[in-house]
Every structure is written in structure tokens, then in C-alpha cells.
Chains A and B, each alone.
Chain A
């Protein structure tokens, strides 16, 4: 079955960088777009970014544009999120999710990894 496992979260100081990874299994990775979404403590879901199945197209939320970069390694079934210039507002659980199909829906989600930005 579809399995998504995020890693790389932790505590980081403001202004520093962090790289998250998501390992995918149980499906044909190269057939699906992949998303990152996040959820600040006690808050709602916020979509962060998406990358197309072939890595050629990427879109970002305005809140992270210019600071975060999504990438994928289709040879390793791995999704990544490079986060630079982190601020306290980036503190959240970050979820990796699979794009479901031709339309925009996220059909499988990982369990998330917590990123805390604090001095």
C-alpha cells in the first residue's frame, strides 16, 4: 500500500536552513505529482508547494516563495523540501502528500514531521 515517510524535522534557529525528505513506496512514484503541506500548532492546513511527476513544474504558496525549494529524485522515490531563511511563522508539522490525479487533490498523506523555528 501507499506509504509516505517524512524525515528531517527538528529545532532550528531563525534565519537558518533545514531540508526535509519524504520517502515514498507502494506506488509508481514517477506517475504522481507530490505536495508539501503544513499545519502550525493549533491551526488549519496550509498548502506549501507541489512538483509535477517529472519535476519540470513547481508551484509555491506566496508565504514560502523564494525561500523554499521543492525537488524530487525519481530514481530514489524521494521528495525533498529545502527551507531557507526560516522564521517563527514556519513552525509547523510538515506533511508530504501524493497528488491524486489530473485534478488537484492529495490522496495519501504521510504522518508529518515537526519543524520548530526558535532561538
Chain B
């Protein structure tokens, strides 16, 4: 049982937009910044979004992040088959004094 809650899966057609949500509490998302990671099949995770909304160099602006209260959202527009991956949210939990990840959301591009 992950501290951060994500839907197990989401799907959409190529070219469409999808949102992936991450729900937490006042001790984690409500108290700190959120990051998002993409894990392609068989690969290591890769940072997509940090500090709620910032994109590292090289990440296309098709990927966006937002946060409101104790929830965060990753948005992906112009879906491509290459976006099929597992997506994880993460932050720091002040009550646990530990970093935490969501359970992950598997994106299928139909």
C-alpha cells in the first residue's frame, strides 16, 4: 500500500491528451514539491517533472505538471506510442521523514 495513490492504469489514443493523478496528504504532497518519473519497459526511471511544474532539459513541453492541495497531476498531450510506460509520482513525507512514491500508473497508447 503506497502512501501516494495513483490509478493502476490509463489509456488513450495516439494524439490525444491524458492526465495521471496522484493523491496524498498534508504530510507529503500538501507539504512539499512533487516530482514525476517515467519508466519505459525494461529501463531505469527518468525524471519528467520536478518542483510540481518544472521540466528538466530535454523533456518536451507535451509533459506538464500541476499541484493543488494534497493532489498532483501529470498531463501528457499529443500522445505517442513511445509514451507507453509506467509513471510514478514522488515527494517527501515529513511525518515519515522519508521519500515516497506512488504505486505507479501504466499508460497504454491504443
| Residues in chain A within 8 A of chain B (CB atoms) | 35, 37, 44-47, 50, 59-62, 95, 97, 100-101, 103-112
Q: Is the CB of B99 within 8 A of A47?
A: yes
Sort chain B's interface into a size bin: 20 to 34
Q: Does B97 contact A (CB under 8 A)?
A: yes
Q: In the bound complex, what is the Cα–Cα distance between A59 and B92 (angstroms)?
A: 11
| Residues in chain B within 8 A of chain A (CB atoms) | 2, 32-33, 35, 37, 39, 44-47, 50-51, 56, 86, 88, 90-92, 96-104
Residue B90 contacts which of A60, A61, A95, A105 (CB distance < 8 angstroms)?
Answer: A105
Q: In the bound complex, what is the Cα–Cα distance between A106 and B101 (angstroms)?
A: 11
Q: In the bound complex, what is the Cα–Cα distance between A69 and B38 (angstroms)?
A: 28
Q: In the bound complex, what is the Cα–Cα distance between A109 and B102 (angstroms)?
A: 18
Of all chain B residues, the one with the shortest Cβ separation from A96 is: B44
Q: In the bound complex, what is the Cα–Cα distance between A108 and B48 (angstroms)?
A: 11
Contacts of A97 on B, CB cut-off 8 Å?
Answer: 45
Q: In the bound complex, what is the Cα–Cα distance between A62 and B98 (angstroms)?
A: 9
Q: Told that A45-B37, A109-B45 touch, could you supply 15 new A-B pairs with CB distance under 8 A?
A: A44-B102, A45-B101, A45-B104, A47-B98, A62-B96, A100-B35, A103-B32, A104-B32, A105-B35, A106-B37, A106-B45, A107-B47, A109-B46, A111-B44, A112-B44
